[in-house]
A and B are shown apart, each in its own frame.
Chain A
């Protein structure tokens, strides 16, 4: 039973850490001259990957 509680607490801590770092990273301004850097991934067949070129077209179209 204790193990389960430890596991849940540990998962929450790890998830919270990721969420905090994600928020901090997105709040950190991009350095000057790097605003228009584009990922040069040509794309494999995994079209639901966030880096696939088709995903950026969806965001632009919204």
Chain B
């Protein structure tokens, strides 16, 4: 139990997927101008990573290993993620218009989010058990949501700050991201 907790803390704070591995930089820069967008995107990423990880885990151990075609894992995972996003979008379009209104617009963006593929592959390469895979698949996108939310708060504040013209927009946002990465590096050694 303590191991799982340590694993979750490490995934959220210490080895944060954005700040230490630089995965998911597109939504990090593209969907972080407003806190509402950041929360919507983060929630959609948690859902897609959890779903895609569970499917890829069973597909790898149940089909690819059984047939001896483990070398197909990359193309399989890409197609599973893309299919899962299409299915989720279709499902919420049909059964939950309210949810589609809040999350639907972020789903196509997730297809291009390499963090989803990273988590699916990491679960296999680290040889996680099912429970460990679930904890990892929830903690990593939770770290993504946390950093995206904090960064969106900083960007909203930066928008009203008096910055030199040459620094307005992405340049000052990237400096803020670098400072945030330095701050998060302080968590190293926590677990």
Footprint of B on A, CB under 8 Å?
3, 6-7, 10-11, 14-15, 17-18, 21-22, 24-25, 28-34, 37-44, 46, 49-51
Q: Are B69 and A28 in contact, CB atoms less than 8 angstroms apart?
A: no
Residues of the B chain whose Cβ atoms lie less than 8 Å from the Cβ of A40:
30-31, 33-34, 37, 105
- What's the least CB distance linking A43 to chain B, in Å? 6
Docked pose: A47 CA to B165 CA in angstroms = 24
A interface SS class: loop
Q: What total count of A-B pairs have CB within 8 Å?
A: 97
CB closest chain-B residue, reference A4: B69
**Complex contact B90–A25 (CB within 8 A):** yes
Among B67, B76, B101, B106, chain A packs the most CB atoms within 10 A around the CB of: B67
**CB-CB contacts below 8 Å: B100-137 with A:** 100-101, 104-106, 108-109, 112
Q: List chain B residues, Cβ under 8 A from A43.
A: 30
B26 at the interface (CB under 8 A from A): yes
